Chain A
């Protein structure tokens, strides 16, 4: 049986850019899968020496501990401003941000909208799990109506909390965006599609085709207080209803 482990028998390999550090993410969290896809895409494109990632404030703040590329860690919401400057100053680089819904769609709304509207040649990976994960499950701008969080314990209601923000739909309206899509990573088929979307966004950055936004509708089993399997099911039944998966803009 020893000869089973040989190069010609390899059907799958962890991307070398993804290091062996133990991830701090909870079981069932979508971040790990998306990290792996990003590492795979950078490796397949052969651009590790030309890539700068911007990590957010939130659960993915430590993204730089897992993917072995150059990183800057931004203040909460400001990742697109950092990315703007890096890409303007180093036009041949692949520059991407990795942001959650609180970071991108709440505190960083201005930076997000204006970077996209200027058509900065950057890619934004947007993890939307409808909750603040890192701080312990508070309401996010994308929290669904009726959804319970620690700061809307009786469920999100319009008169108190307003409505869940479809910022990706807004992004698609902006002249500066060339590619806006909404994906998920809850099944093998979805993961494959999400990987193609990330690749497209990264190529757009390298080729200076304008701004790309890839939203990944994600689970947060800890914040949602569900098992990973329940969380995936709940996402399919509730999140996809409001956040429709698919391309919103391809130019």
Chain B
């Protein structure tokens, strides 16, 4: 592992958090700004140990708080750079102000949340309790954040570049919503190929809105979320909503497992989907035709696909490591066509496939 910057497709073994850090260096990330919190501190630690400022020129700053980190993203993303931060649930709560400002001023940035249990200081053990926080947002106003949910160390690595591409394509913040399981577990991973950081000329070409100094051939670039004239503010909001509808139409991502003949559907994302996979193997061995739909984008949500599958199955179980959050989006999609139940655990307890199977059988009389 002494040459992380080559284009080899060597298979490596590492934690999800480490994969995020290595992927960031390799995919042309210009800056990382973050504050330590368990269970994701390996991201900043890996970056600090790798010293990318000596190789790719990537900047790494340990900020004074998550509030500062997210605002550093506003500054950096606003100047056309690929910038990211990472944190865990309570730290992401602190960033909500910055997230709505990023959305309002249309500034691209990547936020990684390696979730832990809540509420409050909660626990350092894994959880998916921030589904609402990620997809509804804790910030003020009408805005959305693109949310990608990796289910493996490989996806932790792959989604860094994808998130940056989406963030810049739509000038909007994107989040990788992971959890303590995916962040801490070690798996095989092939790191993405090396991609150079963009030059100033490329940034000027691709991001004509970036605030990097006004050249005589253009008007000043101003990045703000403030507008006191109601008509202009309504127009800005309508433009944002039109952009969100475009994202919903073009960027829904999901994966299916054995849904073709499924009589019962499990919907699960991230680490819960890994547990669900095992449960489906066991159920199929018993002759129960269970299938899995794994949303990869939590926003935009695979509403249409779930609507289609709702016509076919006897019931849908939303399996999440929380009290039942994504289940609301499933119910909104299904509109009563089929029964929808939830199963999950809280407090940092990760449910087992056997528990999931028992719940599924009792919920749908299998």
Q: Which A residues have a C-beta under 8 Å from some C-beta of B?
A: 47-52, 54-55, 61-62, 64, 68-75, 78, 81-86, 88-90, 93, 110-111, 114
Q: Which residues of B contact A86 (CB under 8 A)?
A: 75-76, 78-79, 211
A78 to B70, CA, bound (A): 10
A244 to chain B: closest CB distance in Å? Answer: 29
Q: Which B residues have a C-beta under 8 Å from some C-beta of A?
A: 30-31, 33, 59, 61, 63-65, 67-69, 71-76, 78-79, 81, 83, 97-98, 101, 105, 211-216, 219-226
Q: Which residues of B contact A75 (CB under 8 A)?
A: 71, 74, 97-98, 101
Asked whether B71 lies within 8 Å of A70 as measured between CB atoms, the reply is: no
**Smallest Cβ-Cβ distance to A64: which chain B residue:** B222
Q: Which residues of B contact A55 (CB under 8 A)?
A: 224
B210 to chain A: closest CB distance in Å? Answer: 8
Q: Which residues of B contact A64 (CB under 8 A)?
A: 220, 222, 224
Q: Which residues of A contact B83 (CB under 8 A)?
A: 85, 89
Q: Which residues of A contact B78 (CB under 8 A)?
A: 72, 82, 86
**Smallest Cβ-Cβ distance to A94: which chain B residue:** B213
B63 to chain A: closest CB distance in Å? Answer: 7
Asked whether A49 lies within 8 Å of B105 as measured between CB atoms, the reply is: no
User: If the complex has contacts A68-B214, A70-B214, A111-B64, are A88 and B223 also in contact, measured as CB distance less than 8 A?
Assistant: no
User: If the complex has contacts A72-B224, A88-B61, are A78 and B71 also in contact, measured as CB distance less than 8 A?
Assistant: yes
Q: Which residues of B contact A61 (CB under 8 A)?
A: 226
A85 to B62, CA, bound (A): 11
Asked whether B65 lies within 8 Å of A110 as measured between CB atoms, the reply is: yes
A71 to B78, CA, bound (A): 10
A160 to B125, CA, bound (A): 42
A73 to B219, CA, bound (A): 16
A71 to B33, CA, bound (A): 21
**Smallest Cβ-Cβ distance to B79: which chain A residue:** A86
User: If the complex has contacts A52-B211, A81-B63, are A73 and B76 also in contact, measured as CB distance less than 8 A?
Assistant: no
Asked whether A84 lies within 8 Å of B72 as measured between CB atoms, the reply is: yes
Asked whether B214 lies within 8 Å of A85 as measured between CB atoms, the reply is: no
A84 to B97, CA, bound (A): 18
Asked whether B67 lies within 8 Å of A73 as measured between CB atoms, the reply is: no
Asked whether B213 lies within 8 Å of A52 as measured between CB atoms, the reply is: yes
A228 to chain B: closest CB distance in Å? Answer: 25
Asked whether B221 lies within 8 Å of A70 as measured between CB atoms, the reply is: yes
Q: Which residues of A contact B72 (CB under 8 A)?
A: 81-82, 84-85
Contact partner of B76 (CB less than 8 A), chosen from A48, A68, A70, A89, is A89
Asked whether A111 lies within 8 Å of B213 as measured between CB atoms, the reply is: no
Asked whether A70 lies within 8 Å of B211 as measured between CB atoms, the reply is: yes
Pull 22 A–B residue pairs with CB atoms less than 8 Å apart, ordered by A: A48-B214, A52-B79, A52-B213, A54-B75, A62-B226, A69-B213, A69-B220, A71-B223, A73-B105, A73-B223, A74-B71, A81-B71, A85-B33, A85-B61, A85-B83, A89-B83, A90-B212, A90-B213, A110-B65, A111-B64, A111-B67, A114-B68
Q: Which residues of A contact B31 (CB under 8 A)?
A: 85, 88-89
Asked whether A89 lies within 8 Å of B211 as measured between CB atoms, the reply is: no
**Smallest Cβ-Cβ distance to B58: which chain A residue:** A89
A110 to B65, CA, bound (A): 9
B31 to chain A: closest CB distance in Å? Answer: 5
**Smallest Cβ-Cβ distance to A88: which chain B residue:** B59
Knowing that A73-B226, A81-B75 touch, tell me 10 more A-B residue pairs with CB under 8 angstroms: A51-B213, A70-B220, A71-B211, A71-B220, A75-B74, A82-B74, A85-B31, A85-B33, A89-B31, A111-B71
